[in-house]
Amino acid sequence: MQDATAQMALLQFMTAGRTKVAVPSTVHCDHLIQAKVNGDVDLKGSLDINSEVFDFLQSISNKYGIGFWKPGAGIIHQVVLENYAFPGGMMIGTDSHTVNAGGLGMVAIGVGGADAVDVMAGMAWELKMPKLIGVKLTGKLSGWTSPKDVILKVAGILTVKGGTGAIVEYFGEGATAMSCTGKGTICNMGAEIGATTSTFGYDESMSRYLRSTGRAEVADLADKIAPYLTADAECYAQPEKYFDQVIEINLSTLEPHINGPFTPDLATPVSQMKEVLKGKDWPVEVKVGLIGSCTNSSYEDISRAASLAKQAIDKNIKVVSEFTITPGSEQVRYTIERDGFIDIFEQIGASVFANACGPCIGQWDRAGADKKEKNTIIHSFNRNFSKRADGNPNTHAFVASPEIVTAIAMAGRLDFNPMTDKLINKNGEVVMLDEPTGFELPPRGFDVEDAGFIAPAEDGSGVVVKVHPQSDRLQLLDPFAPITNDQVLNMKLLIKAKGKCTTDHISMAGPWLTYRGHLANIANNTLIGAVNAYNDETNKVLNLTENTYMAVPDSARAYQAKGIGTIVFGEENYGEGSSREHAAMQPRFLGVKAVVVKSFARIHETNLKKQGMLALTFANPADYDKIRQDDTISILGFDSMKPGEPLTILLNHTDGTEEKFPVNHTYNQAQIDWVKWGSALNQIRSELNIS
């Protein structure tokens, strides 16, 4: 669990009646560290600002037998790959990029905090049986092309929802020739295609990585049963017989890609960017290049980027754009410092941020972002939604490999193609960049003085969990009351969201991370980023009881104060992005009874179910257009809700007419029981006889 989602997950776990977690569990402090100056300064500032939350997480981890990785230890997914991931294992994590561990042959799945509570409490965890998508990789990567380009290409093929309900498995000669951390990069960004998870079969690269990270014993065990940690030969020989969908990519001809802006599936080969830009109003000048994050912060990634930075020094090239590096873990940071890479980066004017998520999740105090000027940045992160990196809706963020980001930062232009284009150095000489080079693993091995791990007490019964009663950052939770049939009758519309509505739109990150442990306060950002279909504005909806336009949370509270339930409507892939369950808990807290959309992202749909809400989909997507902002809305059939049977929406229009249409759901009987109990956690408490 990472610190932003762990707060709410562990606040829920406290009420489950357990004295210790039932499975090995860890907390990683990586989301609350804001990038501004450099690693040392920013980490110290975060410790000062967030001490209350870090103290809570450390104390509750100590009490319940949870390993604690302190601030500065690194990004959860990099730390997990280095310490916990192993071939053939299964893991869940309260972050959508948990799937990163697929690079070591795991089935690693991102979930909401309520799912994590179930597992930590020793309860069963369920998942609808996914489809299988096979990606056959032929040929071999070389030159400027990297593993990042594989997933950027796949995102362009499948789009942000093409992997929904599926496990993606990569195989073929190109897969086995790839480094373990490169595999992790591909699996990491599988979250951006909606995949349940992504994975690779066990091979020698994984064995090498395990040994390099001090886990030779695990490698020895895996080597002995290697044939059982990958698919049978006939599956890969005739993949169309065993996979629901097969994609084939020739790595020998694959070229570097740049994806974006505003969505990670808008894929453009580098060689085509000049032509694409002719028809766009995207700013060509690149203001900032950023490398690192959980997706691309391995030793291999950093060493290849450093080889280009060294060329800038040797060839006297001025780096035009601002340039930043975010190491993925203290082990990586310490090792790249020892090997001289940080010095190389600093020589070209780069800033090295703390071992944390930073700009990737909006924790970037970027100078001038408040001016909301139109600009372009390029990074090696995973997501590039509007406002995500710096809060500026006019920042055009593009995603690429660390190598391409570094090269484009040197040129300062989005249309720069390092394979063909030349640069003018400080002496006025024409120079070209050579292909990047690097190391799969550190030639001298990894090294670290303090990795940042704190083991829990053997007996935590005497440990006091630190939550101040007057805190505005942490709040003990009260159970949600079950939704009743009367409450889903005569509801009012809270918002009809138009277009893309991610978890960032529903519950923004950035400065709002401050309140991730305080439901009442974090609820004040509920759906403030969603676009109102009736006026194309954000955070401005019509409240019928007050007969005025209000901010979305204010409107919800006004209805709630009068005992009126509310409902939310949306479009495709609603709730894509982060696993944050706040995007479900906040509407639930504010009195929303149901969310009805054209389609859901997997994790968000599950999160809504876990919190005892109705997550419904239009049987006919065109019915979305029938909803008027002044309708009175009822859901019929709630009391007799059964698996596989649609419910009915009744719209009472103000002109005296009415319309009905069916809505589908995917609830099984156990999930319907969650609704009847008020939440999955309420049911767990009951089964454990906790009052």
**Spatial contact of 219 and 210, defined as CB atoms under 8 Å apart:** yes
C-alpha–C-alpha distance, residues 222 and 230, integer Å: 11
Structure tokens given for 63: 């009490």
Closest of 411, 417, 385, 412 to residue 398, by C-alpha: 385
Candidates 25, 578, 599, 679; catalytic one: 578
Closest CA to 553 of 563, 564, 543, 562: 543
The amino acid at 48:
D
Q: Catalytic: which of 28, 97, 383, 604?
A: 383
CA 347 vs CA 295, 319, 403: distances in Å: 25, 10, 17
Crossing angle, helix 113-120 and helix 3-13, to 10 degrees? 50
Q: Which of 95, 115, 203, 301 is catalytic?
A: 95
State yes or no: is 333 an active-site residue.
Answer: no
Q: Which residues contact 494 (CB under 8 A, 6 or more apart)?
A: 527, 541, 552, 555, 556, 559, 566, 567, 568, 587, 592
Residue 423: phi and psi, rounded to 5, are -120, 155
Cβ-contact 75, 355 below 8 angstroms: yes
Could you count the other beta carbons within 10 Å of the beta carbon of residue 112? 29
Q: Is there a contact between 39 and 73 (Cβ–Cβ < 8 Å)?
A: no
How does DSSP assign 393-417, residue by residue? TTEEEEE--HHHHHHHHHHTBTT--
Distance CA(539)–CA(330), nearest Å, equals 40
Judge whether 208 counts as a catalytic residue: no
- Known catalytic residue: 383? yes
Q: Could you tell me the CA-to-CA distances from 64 to 79, 462, 566 in Å, in that order?
A: 21, 11, 37
Q: From the candidates 18, 31, 396, 588, give the one annotated as an active-site residue.
A: 31
Using an 8 Å Cβ cutoff, are 377 and 289 in contact?
Answer: yes
Question: Tokens at residue 310, please?
Answer: 């060294």
The residue with tokens 């006091």 is 464
| Residue 341 main-chain phi, psi, to 5 deg | -70, -40
Joined together, the tokens standing for residue 267 give 């894929």
Quote the distance between the C-alpha of residue 349 and its chain's center: 30
- The residue among 93, 55, 42, 39 whose CA lies nearest residue 454 is 55
CA 498 to centroid of chain Cα atoms: 22
Cα separation, 432 vs 434, whole angstroms: 6
* Residue 401 known to be catalytic: no
Q: Are 335 and 370 in contact (CB under 8 A)?
A: no
Q: Which of 3, 28, 30, 582 is catalytic?
A: 30
Neighbours of 465 (CB within 10 A): 20
555, 543 Cβ separation under 8 angstroms: yes
115 among known catalytic residues: no
Q: Within a 13 Å sphere around the CA of 22, how many CA atoms are in the beta-carbon half?
A: 14
Q: Compute CA 91 distance to the chain's CA centroid, rounded to the nearest angstrom.
A: 16
Helix (H) or strand (E) run with residue 341 in it: helix 341-347
Triad 233, 237, 242: Cα angle to 5°: 85
Peptide linkage before 261 cis (omega within 30 of 0) = yes
The one catalytic residue among 388, 516, 557, 580: 580
Question: Does 31 participate in catalysis according to the annotation?
Answer: yes
Catalytic (active-site) positions: 30-31, 95, 383, 578, 580
